[in-house]
Structure 1
Amino acid sequence: MAVQPAAGTVRTERRGFLLDLITGTETDQDLVQRLAEAGALALGGSADCAALLMRAGGPPVRAGNSPAAAALASSEDRNGGGPLAHAVSAAELLKVDRTAPTRWQAYRRRLSASGFGAALAVPLGLEDRMSCALLFLVRGSTGLTPNLVAEARWFAEVAAQSLRLALEVRSVRSAGDNLKNVLEGRTSIDVACGVIMAQNSCTYAEAFSKLAGASRQRNLKVRSVAENVVKSVGAGTPAARPETPGLAQPL
């Protein structure tokens, strides 16, 4: 996960490298935290890093590799925005240092109070109603050197590719879990219908209709009614009366 280029060099190679944003990242907060930690490592300790992830219709998710970075990221809402929010909304790189416009002077004072001399916000190119940005926070008076800016840009490209992959994997996993639940529910319904068909010499459609009717009457999902029918058979419950096959006894 760590990227530590040699001092004084500018990273140009971008192929064949991805961050592991999949292992141990079950939530958006996990993803953002991993990004912030990796961002700080990528610059070899020359800067702290914070990250912001925005989903359409969802709350912002922020994290930092250090308490100071996390606090600055969280303070943007309380202080009318900041570089992270700007990078996300405008999708453009933003430098906050001695050359920053007047509108960023208040933020520079907050940087200084937190022990930082400059900040660099870099957006990540994402899709599907989602946006993300990284904030690199430089301590001391070294400022935003060309090498640091180049490394930050490179890491942002790697992070964007890695984040897109992680989100795609999570989507596939979620779809798989949903399909598994659907198939499990379908199995329960099929078995319950088989029980009702055997008890009442009716068709599958008639058996399913009875399950659906019980579902509406009892305000339960069809799958829940079906599972109760299957459980009642497994427990050795006596067969139901023909007029309410498989559903007469309490479920």
Structure 2
Amino acid sequence: MPSPDDDDAVVQPAFDELARLSFAEHSLESVLLKVTELATRILPGQPLASVTILDDGRPSTVAASDDVATELDRFQYRAGTGPCLEAASTGRRTGIADTRDDPTWPEFAAEAASRGFDSVLSFPLPPQELVSGSMNLYARHVAVDDPRTAGLVTRLAAYAVGPVSNMYLYKSAVERAEHLQAALESRAVIDQAKGILMERYKLTADKAFQILARLSMERNVKLRDVATQVVHTGELDPA
């Protein structure tokens, strides 16, 4: 059996690669693909990997190394139960040692077995992270009760979920900033349109807004689009 020093020699270069990943050069998906590549390199069984994130209690797979991993995640989401949901919601490592004989999640275990996966391992994101989720491994021919294999998986998952979690938070922050910018731009054009109507028709701000809102409903178009038309043409009626 390989010694701990042998394992260190295998996994440390993988950890070093993860540490060198930067937000500027990688997307969330590319980070996970790197994690999966490293998992395949240091673990027996060529596992597939995915990351489940809970957003307001709703699970989603934010990245996966293969469509099959995503499909197995979604099987659990539809059922409302499974290793990935258990790990993500409780913060405890969980899995299926043998998909051909699992009393806890028999339907999911049978589905995983039918796709050629013998074992399933799910690791929660560390409790200090700002998101709830799990890293999931779907493995072929891996004895999860083997201490060495379990130890390697645990070390890789514990090290990998940090970059993955950080990338998710970074991506979410960028999306929120983009949504905020769009909202500010919408508010600006609506205020401009209100100003035009107030000046032209001697209306109050509330009355001008009511007219824009009524036209939006009557035409079944967004309020911003009505306001944009008023700003560009100076008219309430489209050309």
TM range (shorter): 0.5 to 0.7
Asked if residue 183 in structure 1 is aligned to residue 181 in structure 2, the reply is no
Shift of 1:162: 1.9
Q: CA deviation at 1:117?
A: 4.5
Q: Measure, in 2, the Cα distance between the counterparts of 1:86 and 1:125.
A: 14
Q: Counterpart amino acid of 2:135?
A: A
Query: Which residue does the alignment assign to 2:19?
Result: 17
Q: Which residue of 2 aligns with 1:53?
A: 53
Q: Distance in 2 between matches of 1:78 and 1:195?
A: 51
117, 133, 136: which one aligns with 2:135:
133
1:41 and 2:37 are equivalent in the alignment: yes
Q: Which residue of 2 aligns with 1:158?
A: 159
Amino acid at match of 1:8: D
Measure, in 2, the Cα distance between the counterparts of 1:186 and 1:74. 38
Question: 1:226 aligns to what?
Answer: 227
The answer to whether residue 205 in structure 2 is matched with residue 212 in structure 1 is: no
Q: Distance in 2 between matches of 1:215 and 1:232?
A: 14
Q: Assess, with a 3 A threshold, how the Cα gap between structure 1 residues 144 and 70 changes in structure 2: closer, same or farther.
A: farther
Amino acid at match of 2:6: G
Name the residue aligned to 1:103.
103
| Higher mean C-alpha deviation, range 169-178 or range 125-134 | 125-134
Displacement of 1:48 in angstroms is 0.9
User: How far, CA to CA, are the matches of 1:70 and 1:197 in structure 2?
Assistant: 53
Cα drift, residue 232 of structure 1: 1.4
Q: Hey, what's the Cα distance between the residues in 1 that align with 2:104 and 2:200?
A: 77
- Look up the equivalent residue of 1:151 and give its one-letter code: L
Q: 1:187 corresponds to which letter in structure 2?
A: A
Other structure's SS at 2:6 match: coil
Distance 1:40 1:219 in 2: 49
Distance 1:250 1:91, change over 3 A: closer
Residue correspondences, number: 220
From the superposition, tell whether residues 179 and 86 of structure 1 become closer, same or farther in structure 2 (CA, over 3 Å).
closer
CA displacement 1:119-169 (0-9 Å, x = unmatched): 4332223656732231241426x6554443233223322332223322322
Give 1:102 shift.
6.5
- Asked if 1 retains the 8 angstrom alpha-carbon contact of 2:124 and 2:135, the reply is yes
- Relative distance call for 1:178 and 1:38 in structure 2 (3 A) is same
Q: Which has the larger radius of gyration?
A: 1
- Residues of 2 paired with 1:49 and 1:63: CA distance? 11
What residue is the counterpart of 1:4 in the other structure? none
Secondary structure, aligned partner of 2:7? coil
* Structure 1 portions without partners, runs of 5+: 1-6, 26-30, 234-245
| Percent identity for Structure 1 against Structure 2 | 20
Give distance in 2, aligned partners of 1:199 and 1:108: 69
CA RMSD of aligned residues (A): 4.5
Q: Give me the whole-angstrom Cα distance separating, in 2, the residues matched to 1:70 and 1:164.
A: 18
Q: Tell me the SS of whatever aligns to 1:120.
A: strand
Residues 84 and 198 (structure 1), Cα distance of their counterparts in 2 relative to 1, 3 Å cut? closer
Q: Post-superposition shift, 1:177?
A: 1.6
Instruction: Give the direction of change, closer, same or farther, for the CA distance of 1:132–1:194 in structure 2 (3 Å limit).
Output: same
Task: Give the unaligned 5+ runs of structure 2.
Answer: none
**TM-score, normalised to structure 2's length?**
0.63
Shift in CA distance, 177/150, structure 1 to aligned 2, threshold 3 Å = same
Residues 191/69 of structure 1: CA separation in 2 closer, same or farther (3 Å cut) = closer
Shift of residue 212 of structure 1? 1.1
Which residue does the alignment assign to 2:83?
Answer: 83
